[in-house]
Amino acid sequence: EEVEQLKTGCKTKRDRALIEWLRCTAMRKGEVAGVRINQINWKQGKVTIYGSKGHAFRTVCLDAIALKYLREYIEERGLDEGSSQPLFTHIKGDQSRALTKAGIYSEVKRIASASGLSRRVYPHLFRKTTATNIVRRGGTDSDAGIYLGHKLKGVAAEHYVARSDDTTIKIFREYVAAI
């Protein structure tokens, strides 16, 4: 699978943590740039983020594999799970400075190049892949939209249908988490 080949391009703990983060959360690069370590619920494997496009809070999830690589990365930085430091930072220079949207894009491109993948890889591809995998694994288009944080359309969806974190977590466990 291409994701496994992509992982071979990871040269640092941050690289692998970033790939696992994107694989699980399917977040937009601008959303990733704003995450701080202490926003992660390490016991439950979930994070409440502010969606940059939907302008609303939503929950994203992490599986055991992602949590493992994230812990290794923050421990390598000499930090703990309660740190208020940005999750993904520069490796050189000021290592407390968060990677920007452009930095996340560049790092994903660099990892992809090092992996030898011939296809174009970019952060948004993880969102597309996650949505596709949800449907391929038996979920619905609606499940994919919910997990990605898309707004439901229509009067009933806007005024009567309640979404909960439980729905997002169920979709993650059934269709996204590593098997």
Please report the pLDDT score of residue 175 as a whole number: 83
CB neighbours of residue 107 within 10 Å: 21
What number of residues does the chain have?
A: 179
pLDDT the model gives residue 58: 87
Burial of 30 (0-12, 13-18, 19+ CB in 10 A): middle
User: Would you state the pLDDT for residue 153?
Assistant: 61
Would the pTM count as exceeding 0.75?
Answer: yes
Cβ atoms 47, 59 nearer than 8 A: yes
pLDDT number for residue 159: 46
In the predicted model, residues of the chain with pLDDT beneath 70 are 54, 152-163, 179
Identify the pLDDT of residue 152.
66
pLDDT of residue 48: 93
Task: Say how far apart CA 138 and CA 161 lie, in whole Å.
Answer: 22
Q: How far apart are CA 22 and CA 5, in angstroms?
A: 15
In this structure, which long-range contacts are made by residues 17-20, counting pairs with CB atoms below 8 Å and at least 24 apart in sequence?
A: 17/66, 17/69, 17/70, 17/72, 17/73, 17/88, 18/88, 18/104, 18/107, 18/108, 18/111, 19/108, 19/111, 20/62, 20/65, 20/66, 20/69, 20/70
What was the pLDDT predicted at 172?
87
The separation between the first and the last C-alpha atoms of the chain, rounded to the nearest angstrom, is 14
Predicted confidence (pLDDT) per residue in 67-83, tens digit: 999 999 999 999 999 99
